[in-house]
A and B are shown apart, each in its own frame.
Chain A
Amino acid sequence: MTSMRLQRMPLAPPRVAFALRVLSVVLAILTAALVLWGSGHNPLALGAKVISSTFGSSFGLEDLSLLFSPLIYCGLSVAVALRIGAWNIGAEGQFNFGALCATGVALFVSGPVWVILPLMGVAGMIGGALWILVPTLARAYADVSELITTLLMNFVAMLLVYWLATGPWLDPSGMALATTSRLPVSVPAFWGIVHWGLPIAILIAIALSLFVTYTRWGYEVRIAGANPGAARYAGMPVRTQLIGIMLLSGALAGLGGMMEVAGTVGRLQGGISNNYGYIGIMVAVLARAAPIGVLATAFFMAVLLNGGIVLQSQGLTTHTVLAVTGLILLYAAIGDEAAHYKILRTKAKDG
Chain B
Amino acid sequence: MISTKSLSRRGFLNMGVAAGAGYLLPKTGLISPAHAATPLAPVAEEDAHIAFGHTGPTSDEGWTWAHDQGMKAVEAAFPKLRTSYVESIPYSADATRIFRQFVADDANMVFATSNYGDFLYDVANRAPDVAFYECDGRSPLENLGTFYLSHWYPSYVAGIAAGAMSPSGKLGYVASFPVPSVYSGTNAFLMGARSVNPEATLQAIVINSWFDPQAATQAGTALIDNGCDVLFGIMDEAGYLQVAEERGAKAVMWNTDLRRYGPNAYISSIIVDFKDFYVEQVRRRLAGEWTPTQDLLPFGNGVDVDAWGESVPAEVAAKADAVKASILDGSFNPFVGELKDTKGNVKVAKGATMSEQELYHWNWSIEGVSGLDS
Contact = CB atoms under 8 A, between A and B. Distances in A.
Contact, chains A and B (beta carbon distance below 8 A): yes
Contact of A318 (B84, B88, B91, B103): B88
A63 B93 CA distance: 9
B261 interface: no
Interface in B36-55: 51
B136 A177 contact: yes
Contacts, number: 103
Interface string B175-219: 001111000000000000000000000000010100000000000
B117 A264 contact: no
Nearest to A270: B208
A177 B93 contact: no
Contacts of B20: 175
A63 B103 CA distance: 13
B3 interface: no
Interface stretch (A101-109, A139-147, A163-171, A323-331): A163-171
Interface in A150-185: 159, 162-163, 166-168, 170, 174-179, 182
A176 B100 contact: no
Interface string A17-29: 0000000000000
Interface string B70-107: 00000000000000111110111110111011111100
A177 B101 contact: no
Interface string B228-262: 00000000000000000000000000000000000
A136 interface: no
A113 interface: no
Nearest to B176: A178
B118 A182 contact: yes
A108 B51 CA distance: 39
B370 interface: no
Interface residues of A, number: 42
Most chain B beta-carbon neighbours within 10 Å: one of A57, A177, A315: A177
B69 interface: no
Contact of A63 (B97, B118, B119, B363): B97
Contacts of B177: 162, 166, 177-178, 270
Contact of B102 (A163, A313, A317): A313
Nearest to B57: A318
A213 interface: no
Nearest to B20: A175
A59 B363 CA distance: 37
A265 interface: yes
Contact of A313 (B88, B98, B117, B122): B98
B319 interface: no
Interface in A52-67: 53, 57, 59-60, 63, 66-67
B139 interface: yes
Given A270-B208, A309-B101, A66 B93 contact: yes
Contacts of A269: 91, 117
A314 interface: yes
Nearest to A60: B104
A174 B206 CA distance: 19
Interface in A251-277: 260, 264-267, 269-274
Given A53-B104, A175-B139, A177-B138, A313 B86 contact: yes
Contact of A274 (B57, B87, B92): B92
Contacts of B92: 265, 271-274
A306 interface: yes
A312 interface: yes
B105 A167 contact: no
Interface in A286-326: 306, 309-310, 312-315, 317-318
B41 to A, nearest CB: 22
B115 interface: yes
Nearest to A163: B374
B138 A306 contact: no
Given A175-B139, A177-B136, A271-B91, A167 B102 contact: no
B180 A313 contact: no
B93 A264 contact: yes
A57 B180 contact: no
Contacts of A163: 374
Contacts of B90: 271, 274
A318 B100 CA distance: 18
Contacts of A271: 90-92
Most chain A beta-carbon neighbours within 10 Å: one of B20, B96, B97, B206: B97
B361 interface: yes
Contacts of A67: 93, 97
B140 to A, nearest CB: 10
Contacts of A264: 93
A176 B177 CA distance: 13
Contacts of B361: 174
A318 B86 CA distance: 8
A314 B117 CA distance: 24
A53 B101 contact: yes
13 contacts: A162-B206, A168-B374, A174-B180, A175-B20, A178-B179, A260-B93, A271-B90, A309-B98, A312-B87, A313-B51, A313-B98, A313-B101, A315-B85
Given A177-B177, A178-B91, A318-B87, 11 more contacts: A159-B208, A174-B361, A176-B117, A176-B118, A177-B179, A177-B180, A179-B117, A267-B117, A273-B92, A314-B84, A315-B85
